[in-house]
């Protein structure tokens, strides 16, 4: 596994229909990726598990789906218009743009995360840092990562009233609906809002496959708490976050909780702990848990002249709740799951690549095949078994392409836990009971005879 590269994983994802380059037939668009049939199902399995874990199975969490486009005053009040920036430099020859901190890190300069833009500028000059093409770069300047657009009948003019932004995070939509949920449901404190949705960041240099992209998907929770209890709630939800990663099959030894120093925290955060994962390209951020204090509700309350407070049911003075935010990047979580599942072993003297996905996450739960596709009696019986499993399990694949060995390898590579093969023994029962099938286990490659009537209980175990 130590030899597995990101290129290996990206190749499998393209070849087997998990993830494709966005707009590929036109040469692609940097930082955008399309999820294929298997990729979207894997993503859905992950987000469904997240939703069940943090919304459906809890009494204190309310799901919402806020609009991507919001009044631009939202982003002014939140601080994103003035503070959502990355340090940018430009290749003076090619005019290509790069993250200054990335170039410094790749040049081996230490302490980059603690540098101001002016300090990065000085470090670039001191260490004679060049662009990837070997050219000199411009001075460092701050670059706002929000996508800016226009809306309405004046969108083709310079009218500032038409300005709108694609949201850079899903959190703001939950703050916008805090008062609505309190008024509609009168929740006890603490309570949480949860959302899964798209966010957009105009990354200067997207890279590492789906790890750093311009269009991403987030699973976010905003937990509203009494200011006096923020720490105990933070610790509780940080553990819930870790428990979810373990439920995805990610090993504890590959997960690292790192406290974020003050100079590296987002402008709204008073305390943050990132969970990092051992990806093939290094230990990188997978998710975060931030204590946002009362930054958001206070800022939006002041800017909108609305009272975004909570009145205790047992009486007492109203207060502005503080916020604990566990946030998960869907694309990064999916990449971690695939990276962890990517396995290379040897079967009968030949190398085998397979995805050792947990059965509940696998995009295909069972593949059904007739031993020979040119035998109508086998095909008919296989179709019968396939229809039965498809109706009950949903994600079942019909596979009669190539010989049985090639089918097994193909199903192994997409992570299918079980293959069911209908053979002559199924119909004739010469060496055992009739109406049994061969069930082959992905991980062990062992094959056993199982009655058709027992298949559902086996796969639902």
Q: Alpha helices of 92-194 — where are they, by DSSP H?
A: 100-106, 117-126, 171-176, 178-185
Local structure of 127: helix, strand or coil: coil
* The pLDDT value given to residue 329: 96
Alpha-carbon distance of 90 to 100, in angstroms, equals 9
183 band by pLDDT with thresholds 50, 70 and 90: very high
Residues 41-86 pLDDT 10s: 999 999 999 999 999 999 999 999 999 999 999 999 998 887 778 8
Mean pLDDT, range 342-371, rounded to an integer: 94
Lowest mean pLDDT among 20-29, 259-268, 291-300, 372-381: 259-268
> Of 310-319, 326-335, 427-436, where does mean pLDDT reach its minimum?
427-436
Task: Tell me: pLDDT of 156 over 80.
Answer: no
Q: What is the pLDDT of residue 158?
A: 64
∠ Cα 211 283 118 (to 5°): 80
Q: Does 430 score more than 80 pLDDT?
A: no
Would you place residue 118 in the very low, low, confident or very high pLDDT band (cuts 50, 70, 90)?
A: confident
Is residue 364 within 8 A of residue 38, CB to CB? The reply is: yes
Query: Do 408 and 418 touch, CB atoms closer than 8 A?
Result: no
Give the range among 281-285, 303-307, 313-317 with minimum mean pLDDT: 313-317
* Ranges for all domains in the chain classified under CATH 3.40.50.800: 364-459
Please name the residue ranges forming H helices in 342-432. 376-393, 404-414, 424-428
Determine the Cα–Cα distance for residues 202 and 206; give it in Å rounded to an integer: 9
Supply the pLDDT for residue 357. Answer: 97
Evaluate whether 206 touches 213 at the Cβ level (below 8 Å).
yes
Higher pLDDT, 43 or 431: 43
The CATH 3.30.930.10 portion of the chain extends over 6-69+169-338
Beta-strand ranges (E) seen in 61-204 are: 61-63, 85-90, 97-99, 141-144, 147-150, 163-166, 191-200
Fold of 364-459: Rossmann fold (3.40.50)
Mean pLDDT in residue range 297-318:
93
CB-hemisphere CA count at 13 Å for 343?
17
Fold of 6-69+169-338: BirA Bifunctional Protein; domain 2 (3.30.930)
Q: Cα–Cα distance between 156 and 154 in angstroms, integer? A: 5
- Mean pLDDT for the stretch of residues 448-458: 95
Measure the CA angle with vertex 273, ends 272 and 274; round to 5°. Answer: 120
Closest CA to 49 of 219, 174, 234: 219
Using 50, 70 and 90 to split pLDDT, how confident is the model at 154? low
Q: 194 preceded by cis ω (within 30°)?
A: no
Q: Which pairing describes strands 191-200 and 436-441: parallel, antiparallel, or unpaired?
A: unpaired
- pLDDT classification of 155: cutoffs 50, 70, 90: low
Which one has a higher pLDDT value, 461 or 370?
A: 370
């Amino acid at each position: 596994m130590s030899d597995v590269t990101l290129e290996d994983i990206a190749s499998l994802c393209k070849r087997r229909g998990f993830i494709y380059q966005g707009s590929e037939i036109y040469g692609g668009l940097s930082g955008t990726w399309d999820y294929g049939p298997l990729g979207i199902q894997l993503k859905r399995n992950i987000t469904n598990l997240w939703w069940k874990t943090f919304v459906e199975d809890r009494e204190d969490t309310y799901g919402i789906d806020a609009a991507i486009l919001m009044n631009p005053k939202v982003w002014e009040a939140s601080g994103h218009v003035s503070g959502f920036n990355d340090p940018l430099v430009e290749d003076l020859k090619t005019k290509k743009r790069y993250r200054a901190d990335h170039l410094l890190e790749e040049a081996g300069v230490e302490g980059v995360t603690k540098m101001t833009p002016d300090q990065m500028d000085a470090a670039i000059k001191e260490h004679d840092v060049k662009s990837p093409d070997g050219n000199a770069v411009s001075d460092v300047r701050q670059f706002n990562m929000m996508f800016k657009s226009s809306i309405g009948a004046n969108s083709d003019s310079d009218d500032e009233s038409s300005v709108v932004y694609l949201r850079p995070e899903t959190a703001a939509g939950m703050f916008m609906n805090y008062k609505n949920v309190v008024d509609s449901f009168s929740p006890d404190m603490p309570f949480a809002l949860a959302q899964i949705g798209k966010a957009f960041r105009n990354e200067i240099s997207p890279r590492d496959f789906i790890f750093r992209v311009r269009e991403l998907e987030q699973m976010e929770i905003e937990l509203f708490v009494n200011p006096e209890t923020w720490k105990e709630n933070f610790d509780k939800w940080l553990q819930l976050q870790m428990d979810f990663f373990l439920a995805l099959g990610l090993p504890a030894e590959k997960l690292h909780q790192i406290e974020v120093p003050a100079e590296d925290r987002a402008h709204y955060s008073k305390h943050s702990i990132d969970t990092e994962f051992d990806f093939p390209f290094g230990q990188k951020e997978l998710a975060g848990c931030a204590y946002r204090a009362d930054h958001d509700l206070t800022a939006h309350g002041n800017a909108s002249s609305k009272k975004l407070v909570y009145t205790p049911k047992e009486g007492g003075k109203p207060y502005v709740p503080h916020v604990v935010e566990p946030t998960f990047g869907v694309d990064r979580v999916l990449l971690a799951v695939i990276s962890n599942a990517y396995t290379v072993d040897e079967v009968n003297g030949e190398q085998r690549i397979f995805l050792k996905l947990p059965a509940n996450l696998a995009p295909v739960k069972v593949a059904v095949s007739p031993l020979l596709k040119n035998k109508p009696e086998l095909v008919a019986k296989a179709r019968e078994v396939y229809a039965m499993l498809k109706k009950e399990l949903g994600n079942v694949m019909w596979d009669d392409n190539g010989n049985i060995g090639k089918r097994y390898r193909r199903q192994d590579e997409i992570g299918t836990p079980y293959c069911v093969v209908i053979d002559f023994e199924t119909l004739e029962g010469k060496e055992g009971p009739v109406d049994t099938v061969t069930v082959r286990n992905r991980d062990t490659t062992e094959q056993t005879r199982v009655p058709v009537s027992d298949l559902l209980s086996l796969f639902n175990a």
